[in-house]
Structure 1
Amino acid sequence: MHVQIVLFDGFDPLDVIAPFEVLYAGGTASDGAVTVELVSAEGPREVVSGTGGLALRAGAALDPHRAGLVLVPGASGRVGGPDETPGEEPAAGERKQDESIPVLLGRTLKTPLPALLEKAMAHPQVTVATVCGGSLVLAMAGLLEGRYATTHHLGLDMLDATGVHAVSARVVDDGDLVTGAGVTSGLDLGLYLLEREVGPRIAHAVEELFAHERRGTVWRARGPEPVGF
């Protein structure tokens, strides 16, 4: 399984690094069954996160036709302000780390990323995964209507407003769409993807290596609906 983790301006570093390390370790434990790379919609470049100007380098352009997994992180910044709207341009001299998360996520809509993600989601051999606000990127692009997904608890109402069946769960598996909640859920998402795609023995070995036990039930639209909750 090849994994493309997408970087965009203002991304949250932990949303990227947590699943990257888990999946990379899974590749080592499985003798190369998993490979991971950092990509961007624009191609190879330095991409500045929303946390203290920390930058990571995308080594390639996102290829929506490559079989495997495409993982979209959320953004890092202020929770928001009354005068800001998603997608607005920064004021002259404003630093990215001072912007709000809705603005950073909304700005991705003006890049080639939504069109590439639409192609990836249409590919029968691609699974799209998200951490935190990554699902909001897809939802704001109109790609998740009618799907089951989760995000950071502060964004669940926004997710629901786009026509998504928002689920308050650590990880939601909707087939070719697997979404994680808040930032540290990237660890749980990565371990679950290893279990699902490579096997529980590999996932367990990485879980032991990282001294991290997965939290919560992976939610799926299966079985009887609960009554009285």
Structure 2
Amino acid sequence: EKTWFDMPCDATHVSVSESVSSLSTNDFSIPWETWRNEFAGIEMTYETYERLNSEFKRRNNIRHKMLSYFTTQSWKTAQQHLRTINHQSQDSRIKKLDKFQFIIIEELENFEKDSQSLKDLEKEFVDFWEKIFQKFSAYQKSEQQRLHLLKTSLAKSVFCNTDNEETVFTSEMCLMKEDMKVLQDRLLKDMLEEELLNVRRELMSVFM
């Protein structure tokens, strides 16, 4: 969409120049019949009319030239300012477009950096969880080994085999019986010897 300062200036300049140049000096002359009708009370010869009319034409011609010059200079000045406005407007648009392009390129570069950072973060996250999983697996395996060792130790130390205990008990009871028998035999022997000694003493005391 074109603005008013984007329109070509030459066509407007031609139309203005033609409008000004089309005004002839004859358009400003007063006909003799009109002069006579309008100024009937004033006595004037045709020669005086011609002289006044020539002076009127000369002044109008000067004014016409001044107006034409002023119009031309005004249009040139306006055209120069319009070109300046157009140039500055285009420069401003180009600068804004360049700035917008720079922002887009910069944001694309930032987006690529952020994407790479996100990929690196994702890789670090995966590596981190792999390490956690490996450590957890090692801990779980160690815990299973520890539980197995505790169960085995508990079974061997606390809940021992009853057959083994029965064998030990039977063996110890047999040994205890044998020891008790030996003690009983020794006790009986000692008691018998003591009684025999007492009997001997009594007999000796009687017969002596």
Q: TM-score per shorter chain, which class?
A: under 0.3
Higher relative contact order (CA 8 A, sep 6+): 2
More strand per residue: 1
Q: Which has the larger radius of gyration?
A: 2
> How high is the TM-score relative to the length of structure 1?
0.13
> How high is the TM-score relative to the length of structure 2?
0.14
